[in-house]
């Protein structure tokens, strides 16, 4: 249970912002070009950002399961300097500017690895968890963005959540930026675990629902396309992961109920991330790059974002789920300039509680047309972000000419502005309680992975916590265990050894001190007493110091034997 209290004047950052309101002036700095890979690149980036008059840098640190910062979960990309932490250096220099430049860590969500080759690291998560990949009805995993994680698989979603939170915990970023926070198309989302959850939800009443069958050597899958059986082979193995379904098991890709389910998986992930990240850092700005393919619609429910990618960013904006939404209006002015202006007008009509800024595709346009689009959007929305920092050619299509200095001078003609602040007009404008409901086996109790979020009437002075006092936020997580049966639910370590030997119990909301192999040292958040839990196997992914967990365990003399550990959240 986490309480977040937001007091003070609401910041009115709707689509039509006041002329004196904060405005986004941003550059997307991608990993496919120079940016933060060497000290020289970082110094050049800051210099160009000052010339361009930007107040925010979106720094890509994760593309496909390899990273450009230091992570416990994923390996460093081969084109990095092993000892150099580019993200930390760009934060240091950007914050030292006058005025300071915000730095937001940009991580891709859905893409996991290209489909043309496998990772060079034998112990990569890709090999350990092929079950996390999304599939199409034929069992294939080669999506348009490569092999990708499925938001409907709880462990895959938790893994993504922990990747974002790791950056929040380890780096002094001003924000985190979500990209590819969507499915690759309506034919994706057929992950086995996700399908099981969908059917068990009772939502689907279609005639094609049948009992799920796991293929065996005696009863292999039948009636499948020739491509089925192409799986993930860890190095040194011969057999690929079999596909567990036949076509008659599956809802159609355009089925409205299954589409709604996948849309809920994406939105549910965003909702959990916002709550967890704001609990750690109330002042953090959480943003997303959104899909606006084609011309602007009359009804958003007819857009590819809604029907094919299951990214309902209109609903996110109306609820105030994020601090900032940036639709990528990548339109060449001489061909589809009308599309650009139609989308800007569409955003102006939204009853939004989240600021909306315009993503400008400067790689498609001349410098003059880039500035033309930027001025149009900036007068009507919450600012602009340029894609990209590197692709700055005066003539579109001349990719060989990067980092054209005239580009930074040109966009510097926009008026200077204060950066976008945290959104106090959305879901955190009232006290919020959130957490997880779990059963005695530490499995989710109820829908939405057991996650709940409820408004309450708590007052800040009753909560008594100074962290985030400027925004009036407080954190206090206590998760709910239901149907524990004969297992006592303990929150204080002092009571563990009062139990009889071999007694089963559940420890709730324990803070990880350290994990070494199968040894897990936990601290009770109330008493701060430590206890050692012996695990049957090392957790995968590993646990970080400060992680919040629940443990299903048995007393064994002066130690506890942990049968299961459930990650619940994080502390700083």
Model confidence pLDDT, tens digit, residues 491-506? 777 678 888 888 889 9
* Per-residue confidence (pLDDT) for residue 482, from 0 to 100: 77
Tokens (6 digits) for 366: 């001349």
Question: What does the angle CA 63 – CA 69 – CA 74 come to, to the nearest 5 degrees?
Answer: 60
For residue 389, name the pLDDT band (cuts at 50, 70, 90): very high
CATH tag, 488-572 = 2.40.50.140
* Per-residue confidence (pLDDT) for residue 87, from 0 to 100: 98
Residue written as tokens 């692709």? 391
**Could you check whether 26-196+252-411 and 488-572 share the same CATH topology?**
no
Per residue in 16-59, pLDDT (tens digit) is 344 468 999 999 999 999 999 999 999 999 999 999 999 999 99
pLDDT at 472 over 60: no
Backbone φ and ψ of 212, nearest 5° = -75, 135
Distance CA 456, CA 477 (A): 15
DSSP states of 254-306: T-HHHHHHHHHHHHHHHHHHHHHHHHH-TT-EEEEEE---SSPPSSGGGSHHH
pLDDT at 230 over 50: no
Among 69-83, 242-256, 425-439, whose mean pLDDT is lowest?
242-256
For residue 2, name the pLDDT band (cuts at 50, 70, 90): very low
For residue 236, name the pLDDT band (cuts at 50, 70, 90): very low
Contact between 535 and 518 under an 8 Å Cβ cutoff? The reply is yes
* Per-residue confidence (pLDDT) for residue 19, from 0 to 100: 44
Residue written as tokens 């002036």? 25
* Per-residue confidence (pLDDT) for residue 428, from 0 to 100: 73
Among 30-44, 63-77, 215-229, whose mean pLDDT is lowest?
215-229
Domain boundaries, the chain: 26-196+252-411, 488-572
Q: How far is CA 516 from CA 268, 510, 522, 542, in A?
A: 32, 17, 12, 9
* Per-residue confidence (pLDDT) for residue 20, from 0 to 100: 63
Query: Which of the two residues, 245 and 70, has the higher pLDDT score?
Result: 70
Residue written as tokens 């967890």? 276
Q: What average pLDDT is seen over the chain?
A: 85
Per residue in 293-325, pLDDT (tens digit) is 999 999 999 999 999 999 999 999 999 999 999
Per residue in 339-367, pLDDT (tens digit) is 999 999 999 999 999 999 999 999 999 99
* Per-residue confidence (pLDDT) for residue 94, from 0 to 100: 98
Cis peptide before 99 (omega within 30 of 0): yes
Contact between 477 and 279 under an 8 Å Cβ cutoff? The reply is yes
User: What average pLDDT does this structure show over 419-439?
Assistant: 84
CA 149 to chain centre: 12
Distance CA 183, CA 187 (A): 9
* Per-residue confidence (pLDDT) for residue 469, from 0 to 100: 40
* Per-residue confidence (pLDDT) for residue 354, from 0 to 100: 96
Determine the straight-line distance between the first and last CA of the chain, rounded to whole angstroms: 17
Contact between 520 and 543 under an 8 Å Cβ cutoff? The reply is yes
**pLDDT over 90 for what percent of the chain?**
67
Distance CA 311, CA 328 (A): 13
| Residue 212: CB atoms within 10 Å | 13
User: What average pLDDT does this structure show over 80-105?
Assistant: 97
Q: Which CATH class is domain 26-196+252-411?
A: alpha beta
Per residue in 527-568, pLDDT (tens digit) is 778 899 999 999 999 999 999 999 999 998 878 999 999 999
In SS3 terms, 310-355 reads as CCCHHHHHHHCCCCEEEEEECCCHHHHHHHHHHHHHHHHHCCCCCC
* Per-residue confidence (pLDDT) for residue 499, from 0 to 100: 86
User: What average pLDDT does this structure show over 482-493?
Assistant: 75
Query: Which of the two residues, 448 and 475, has the higher pLDDT score?
Result: 448
* Per-residue confidence (pLDDT) for residue 471, from 0 to 100: 45
CB neighbour burial string for 521-557, b if at least 16 within 10 angstroms, e if fewer: bbbbbeeeeebebebeeebebebbebbbbbbbbbbee
Handedness of CA 348, 349, 355, 361 (dihedral sign): negative
């Amino acid at each position: 249970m986490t309480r977040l209290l937001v007091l003070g004047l609401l910041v009115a950052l709707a689509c039509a912002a006041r002329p004196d309101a904060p405005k986004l002036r941003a550059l997307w700095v991608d990993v496919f070009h120079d940016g933060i890979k060497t000290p020289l690149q970082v110094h050049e980036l800051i210099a160009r950002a000052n010339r361009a008059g930007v107040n925010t840098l979106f720094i890509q640190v994760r593309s496909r399961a390899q990273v450009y910062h230091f992570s416990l979960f994923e390996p460093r990309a081969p084109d990095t300097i092993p000892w150099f932490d580019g993200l930390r250096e760009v934060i240091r220099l950007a914050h030292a500017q006058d005025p300071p430049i915000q730095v937001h860590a940009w991580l891709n969500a859905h893409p996991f690895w290209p489909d043309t080759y496998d990772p060079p690291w034998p112990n990569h998560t890709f090999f350990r968890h092929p079950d996390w990949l999304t599939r199409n009805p034929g069992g294939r995993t080669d999506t348009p963005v490569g092999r990708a994680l499925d938001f409907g698989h709880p462990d895959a979603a938790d893994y993504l959540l922990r990747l974002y939170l790791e950056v929040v915990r380890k780096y002094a970023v001003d924000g985190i930026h979500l990209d590819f926070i969507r499915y690759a198309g309506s034919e994706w989302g057929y992950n086995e675990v996700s399908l099981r959850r969908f059917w068990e939800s009772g939502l689907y009443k279609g005639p094609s629902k049948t009992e799920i069958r796991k293929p065996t050597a005696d009863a292999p899958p039948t009636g499948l396309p020739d491509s089925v059986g192409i799986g993930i082979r860890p190095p040194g193995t011969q057999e690929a992961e079999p596909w567990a379904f036949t076509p008659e098991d599956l809802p159609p890709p355009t089925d409205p109920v299954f589409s709604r389910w996948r849309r809920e998986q994406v939105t549910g992930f965003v909702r959990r991330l916002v709550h967890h990240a704001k609990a750690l850092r109330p002042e953090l700005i959480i943003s997303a790059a959104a899909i606006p393919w084609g011309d602007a619609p009359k009804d958003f429910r007819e857009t590819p974002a809604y029907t094919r990618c299951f990214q309902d960013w209109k609903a996110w904006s109306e609820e105030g789920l994020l601090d900032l939404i940036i639709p990528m209006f990548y339109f060449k002015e001489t061909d589809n300039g009308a599309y650009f202006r139609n989308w800007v007008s569409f955003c102006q009509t939204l009853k939004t509680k989240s600021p909306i800024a315009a993503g400008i595709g400067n790689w498609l346009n001349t410098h003059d047309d880039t500035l033309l689009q930027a001025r149009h959007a900036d007068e009507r929305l919450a600012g602009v972000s340029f894609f990209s920092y590197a692709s700055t050619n005066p003539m579109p299509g001349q990719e060989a000419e990067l980092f054209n200095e005239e580009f930074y001078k040109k966009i510097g003609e926009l008026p200077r502005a204060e950066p976008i602040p945290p959104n106090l007009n959305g879901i955190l404008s009232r006290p919020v309680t959130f957490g997880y409901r779990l059963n005695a086996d530490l499995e989710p109790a109820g829908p939405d992975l057991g996650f709940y979020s409820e408004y309450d009437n708590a007052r800040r002075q009753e909560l008594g916590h100074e962290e985030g006092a400027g925004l009036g936020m407080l954190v206090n997580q206590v998760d709910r265990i239901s149907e524990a049966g004969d297992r006592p639910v303990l929150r204080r370590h002092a009571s563990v050894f009062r139990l009889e030997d071999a007694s089963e119990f559940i420890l709730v909301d324990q803070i990880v001190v350290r994990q070494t192999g199968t040894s897990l040292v936990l601290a009770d958040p109330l008493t701060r007493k430590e206890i050692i839990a012996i695990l049957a196997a090392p957790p995968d992914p590993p646990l970080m110091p400060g992680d919040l967990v629940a443990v299903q365990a048995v007393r064994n003399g002066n130690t506890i034997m942990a049968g299961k550990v459930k990650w619940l959240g994080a502390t700083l």
